[in-house]
Amino acid sequence: MGYLTDVHLRGFERYKYNSIDTSFLSVYVMHPFWNACVKYLPKWLAPNILTFVGFLMTVVNFILLAYYDWNFDAANDKEVGNTVPAWVWTVAAINILIYYNLDGMDGKQARRTGTSGPLGELFDHGLDSYSAALIPIYLFSLFGTVDLPPIRMFFVIWNVFLNFYLTHVEKYNTGVMFLPWGYDFTMWGVSGMLFVATLLGPGIYRWDYHGFTVANIFEVVLIGSGMVTSHPFIARNIYLSYKNKTGKMRPTMEMLRPFFAFLWLFVITTIWSFFSRNNVINLEPRILWILYGTIFSNIACRLIVAQMSDTRCDGFNILMWPLAATVGVCCFPYYQEILGEDLPAEYERWIVQGLTIFSTLAHWHYGYGVVSEMCNHFHIKCFKVRTPSSQTAELLQQNNNKFKSH
């Protein structure tokens, strides 16, 4: 099963990375640090290995916190205190910093080893789209469902999705990746919050003042930072690309096309969150976040493929068909009249779990397929550096074989 057409592959051949980074933290602090660190990496180390190891750190965090706090209720009892062990917060904080720094160093390692190309960027941003769903989930265990109920978690996650997605919508229309200021501060902020949970105890995040909680501050800062430091600048950059004729100059509906799949997903998941027969958002919040994050990542990955290959993006995502059908079944209002009983909660749990497994496998298949097709087209390997010395050795071996045959 092929996911990339000849048009995609020819577009990737023409693709050239173009980015602008104006964050003072990134430009004056992190990039010099990464430039110094990357010198200690062996040149045989493929940059995609750095990317993948960093992503795995976010997966380890998710598994750890899921084990100790599956239902996000570990912080609910103020008298008992947060039941997640202190060392888990330390490990999670360190893993976030590993992810962040490896994510900053992979591109530098690619240029250092002469392996820069569209595969590396696609691999990097594709995994980042998955991490966008995983990272905010860690913080939910600091607040618990008392201070941050699942329905508010839902909107926090969607705010993270929006911030990530808008950057790629911007690039789809301008041809330039304007690296957002908020990313560096968010990574340091998340790791800082996790370290504070170790040093001062996670109970500090259950503090409130006349009903105004730390969770409220978290929501205001997260949503407000995107509205102040990201969204207006993205709109301005797209507008200037049209005004100055420097962007892709797509018609209005084509410019807005990336939002179609994104908005469809938001509408469908919102309906399920509010109108589930069994209030599934409170029954299986963690599974739902993974389901929503997986489908979001698939939408984002397909947009990234479109922007890099300069092709038309999808207006609807195929994984939303089973999601829409599931939501229709789980929110159907006439069970009592037609079936004589309502939809049992256990059935809805099984449906959520089954759909999550299916969507995850489908997304993994898509990612594996796209990477394999690009590797085959460009005659490269995802996790191996094809150094000049190995190429020379291969040519010498071919010449020796020819000499022996003669």
Domain-wise residue ranges, the chain: 6-391
Which of these, 285, 292, 290, 291, lies nearest to 266 by C-alpha position? Answer: 292
Radius of gyration of the chain (CA): 23
Give the list of residues 6+ apart from residue 36 with CB closer than 8 angstroms, or none: none
Paired residues of 381 in beta bridges: 384
Distance of alpha carbon 120 from alpha carbon 285, whole angstroms: 33
Which of these, 150, 126, 149, lies nearest to 298 by C-alpha position? Answer: 126
Residue at 117: amino acid letter: G
φ, ψ of residue 294 in degrees (nearest 5):
-65, -45
Give CB contacts under 8 A, 24+ apart, made by 263-268. Answer: 264/316, 264/317, 264/320, 265/292, 265/295, 265/296, 265/299, 265/317, 265/320, 265/323, 266/158, 268/320, 268/323, 268/324, 268/327
Determine contact, residues 307/166, Cβ cutoff 8 Å: no
Which of these, 98, 21, 27, 20, lies nearest to 59 by C-alpha position? Answer: 98
Tokens of 98: 């590993």
Residue 391 has a pLDDT of 46
Which of these, 39, 157, 15, 184, lies nearest to 103 by C-alpha position? Answer: 184
Distance, CA of 390 to chain centre? 35
Three-state secondary structure call for residue 207: coil
Three-state secondary structure call for residue 75: coil
pLDDT in tens, the chain (406 residues): 689 999 999 999 999 988 888 888 999 999 999 999 999 999 999 999 999 999 999 999 999 999 999 999 999 999 898 999 999 999 999 999 999 999 999 999 999 999 899 999 999 999 999 999 899 999 999 999 999 999 999 999 999 999 999 999 999 999 999 887 788 888 999 999 999 999 999 999 999 888 899 999 999 998 888 888 889 999 999 999 999 999 999 999 999 999 999 999 999 999 999 999 899 999 999 999 999 999 999 999 999 999 999 999 999 999 999 999 999 988 887 776 677 778 888 989 999 999 999 999 999 999 999 999 999 999 999 999 975 544 434 443 444 444 334 3
**Helix 231-243 / helix 150-174 crossing angle, nearest 10 deg:** 20
Tokens of 87: 């060392």
Residue 33 has a pLDDT of 96
**Helix 320-330 / helix 285-309 crossing angle, nearest 10 deg:** 150
φ, ψ of residue 293 in degrees (nearest 5):
-65, -35
Tokens of 171: 């690039």
Strands 19-21 and 177-179: parallel
Q: Which CATH class is domain 6-391?
A: mainly alpha
Which of these, 279, 280, 296, lies nearest to 288 by C-alpha position? Answer: 280
Tokens of 284: 């299986």
Give the list of residues 6+ apart from residue 392 with CB closer than 8 angstroms, or none: none
**Could you tell me the CA-to-CA distances from 236 to 37, 265, 338 in Å, in that order?**
35, 26, 53
Residue 387 has a pLDDT of 59
The reported pTM is 0.92
